[in-house]
Amino acid sequence: MSGTATNGRRVVVTGIGVVSPLAVGAELTWKRLIEGQSGIGRITHFDPSELPAQVAGQVPDGPTAEGGLTLSDWVPAKDQKKMDRFIHLGLAAAIQAVEDSGWMPEDEDGRCATGVMIGSGIGGLQTIYDASLTVSSGKARRLSPFFIPSALINLISGHLSIRYGFKGPNHAVVTACATGVHAIGDASRLIQYGDADVMVAGGAEAAICSLGIAGFCSARALSTGSNDDPTKASRPWDKDRDGFIMGEGAGVVVLEELEHAKRRGAKIYGEIGGYGLSGDAYHITAPAEGHNGAFRAMKAALRNSGGLTTADIDYVNAHGTSTMADDLELDAVERFFGDDAKRLAMSSTKSAIGHLLGAAGAVEAIFCLQAIRDGIVPPTLNLDNPARESVIDRVAHVAQQRKIDVALSNSFGFGGTNASIILKRFKD
Amino acid sequence: MSDIADKVKKIVVEHLGVDESKVTPDASFIDDLGADSLDTVELVMAFEEAFSVEIPEDAAEKIATVKDAIDYIEKQKAA
């Protein structure tokens, strides 16, 4: 981004929160991820035996201290039934991020300069399903007054703003599986343009319900061949991959204008280094041959990076969903990096947690920040036999120690929407 | 306390997540028990369901306290 509109305002990340199939908590999720653990198992949220896909990445229940979900630690009991599960998970991640950042505005100016932009790919699907049963059984007048606000995608933003009194921009992204990256990227721009000094941004998803799984099954998008061996089901780039594995959870970051963060002595995870968007204009669910849309999104992110080149990028967190489209992304990444592909590490963390749809991009951006901080590249599980060879190291099976200063994360969504975001080590 | 009063109290405790001791006859759903306007809509629906009565909107608007609810339902059941 150049020109005067941004006044050179830089955006850093000062708080992170994750709810994933590996754990509730950003650091425990990361620890389990780099240990090579898998969060995929047989679906227990409902009985999946009628459906061809029966495995998913569900957020584990359990004590908060052990990385399980204890909902009452995040949402008061009397409010829980007024929100769909995607809002529960989104709030749990957002509260973590806000508390991690230590940012709590003390005056009205501070509250008005703090905004929220937490989206979802699908929203309250289970809530909509339940409500439709009420209506179809002739009880339309008995529909809960909380049905609509429970299902609406922007209500994570709404609830969070009410909880903390954040009165800045109140927004929510809905771009299917690109939601998380779009939310962080667009929220960063609101800070760059001075609409806010702090933005709480990310995505959440909870679509592991009969309607969600059946719908993606009908679209022939889910893996059906590993129902008896769930941890082997998600296998990006592997020749035996046969569809994605649905995951649920949320990822939320606190984005902050650099000088604002410095003034209050905030811990800085990294800087937003660039952000790019593109559209395929091709097909509602499939990317085009060569994945030109992915190529253009990465190119746009680099163009907005203030002078980075492909030689500066050390790690790519791929969209890599464990479908045939993995190789199209690989084509685009190889083409985009050219000779620099040889020194690149690229992994798909969906191999461990599944595809968190609207939360995926936000969780994966957080993994990039943790990879930069710790000098560790998370692995691609189950990459036993790559469907095709590549000069890019795809970090099969085990995590690698590697110095990472700049990472790029890709997310692509149904409708042909693509987004890439660059995270980089903060240097004053 | 009548059966109706007991049942009303139980529904209020359940829906508003408040302590039973606070659900006194004079307690106002909004002023004393922390309900908002949507909570009261849901509460009235719960009463309708539990007691198999119809509570029209103009009547529902006048139900502000626990006692209002008990009185209305007792009157309907007696009729």
Instruction: Assess whether pLDDT exceeds 80 at residue A266.
Output: yes
Q: Which of B3, B19, B26, B36 is catalytic?
A: B36
pLDDT value at residue B1 = 59
Q: Output the average pLDDT for chain B.
A: 94
- Tokens for A70, please give them: 């204890």
Residue B72 scores a pLDDT above 90: yes
Cα three-residue angle A256-A201-A252, rounded to 5 degrees: 105
Asked if A145 and B42 come within 8 Å (Cβ–Cβ), the reply is yes
Average predicted confidence (pLDDT) for chain A: 97
Q: How confident is the model at residue B59 (pLDDT cuts 50, 70, 90)?
A: very high
pLDDT of residue A289: 84
Q: Does B41 touch chain A (CB under 8 A)?
A: yes
Q: Over the stretch A346-364, which tens digit does the pLDDT of each residue have?
A: 999 999 999 999 999 999 9
User: What are the φ/ψ torsions at residue A200 (nearest 5 degrees)?
Assistant: -100, 115
Is B19 assigned a catalytic role?
no
Task: Single out the residue of A286, A386, A408 nearest to residue A337, CA to CA.
Answer: A408
pTM: 0.95
- pLDDT of B2 > 50? The answer is yes
pLDDT tens-digit readout, A355-395: 999 999 999 999 999 999 999 999 999 999 999 999 999 99
Please give the pLDDT value at position B40. Answer: 95
Tell me the CA distances in angstroms from A122 to A358, A414, B6, one per residue in order.
7, 11, 41
Least confidently predicted of A37-51, A250-264, B65-79: B65-79
Phi first, then psi: what are they for A311, rounded to 5°? -65, -20
Could you give the ipTM of this predicted complex?
0.85
**CB contact (8 A) between residue B17 and residue A78:** yes
Sign of CA dihedral A225, A229, A231, A236: negative
Indicate whether A5 pLDDT > 70.
Answer: no
| Parallel/antiparallel/unpaired status of strands A170-171 and A114-119 | parallel
Tokens 């604002």 belong to which residue? A260
Q: What is the mean pLDDT of residues A253-273?
A: 98
Task: Tell whether the model's pLDDT for residue A61 goes beyond 70.
Answer: yes
Whole-number pLDDT of residue A62: 98
> Running DSSP on this structure, what letter comes out for residue A236?
T
How would you list the strands of the sheet with A406-413, edge to edge? A170-171, A114-119, A198-205, A249-257, A11-19, A270-279, A417-424, A406-413, A315-317, A345-347
- Is residue A151 scored above 80 in pLDDT? yes
CA distance B71 to chain A (A): 22
Write down the pLDDT at residue A78.
86
Number of A to B CB contacts under 8 A, please give it.
20
Residue entry with tokens 């830089």: A10
A 10 A CB-CB count for A371 gives 28
What per-residue confidence (pLDDT) applies to A4? 46
- Say if CB B43 and CB B15 are below 8 A apart: yes
Q: Which residues of B32-46 are buried (b: 16+ CB within 10 A; e: fewer)?
A: ebebeeebbbbbbbb
CB A19 within 8 Å of CB A252: no
pLDDT reading at A190 higher than 50? yes
User: Helices in A313-359 by DSSP H: which ranges?
Assistant: 325-337, 350-353
Band (A3; pLDDT cuts 50, 70, 90): very low
Rounded distance between C-alpha atoms, residue B65 and residue B61, angstroms: 11
From the list B17, B38, B48, the residue facing A146 with the nearest CB is: B38
Query: Which of A82, A142, A149 lies at the smallest CB-CB distance from B45?
Result: A142
Domain locations in chain B as residue ranges: 3-78
CB nearest to A144's CB, from B16, B42, B48: B42
Is the Cβ pair B41, A78 closer than 8 Å?
Answer: no
Give residue A2's pLDDT.
42
**What's the pLDDT band for B79 if we cut at 50, 70, 90?**
confident
Q: What is the mean pLDDT of residues B32-57?
A: 94
**Whole-number CA gyration radius for chain B:** 11
Per-residue pLDDT for A1 more than 50? no
Q: What does each C-alpha distance from B55 to A138, A140, B44, B50 come to in angstroms? A: 18, 15, 7, 12
DSSP string, A248-293: -EEEEEEEEEHHHHHHTT----EEEEEEEEEE--S-SS-PPGGGHH
Inform me whether the pLDDT recorded for A130 exceeds 90.
Answer: yes
Confirm or reject CATH 2.30.42.10 for domain B3-78, answering yes or no: no
Q: What is the mean pLDDT of residues A275-301?
A: 95
Residue A288 has pLDDT above 90, yes or no: no
How do residues A408-424 score in pLDDT, each as one tens digit? 999 999 999 999 999 99
With bands split at pLDDT 50, 70 and 90, how would you rate the model's confidence at A290? confident
Supply the pLDDT for residue A275.
98
Nearest to A318 by CA among A333, A337, A336: A333
Q: Is the pLDDT of residue A51 over 60?
A: yes
- Mutual angle of helices B66-78 and B3-16, in 10-degree steps: 140
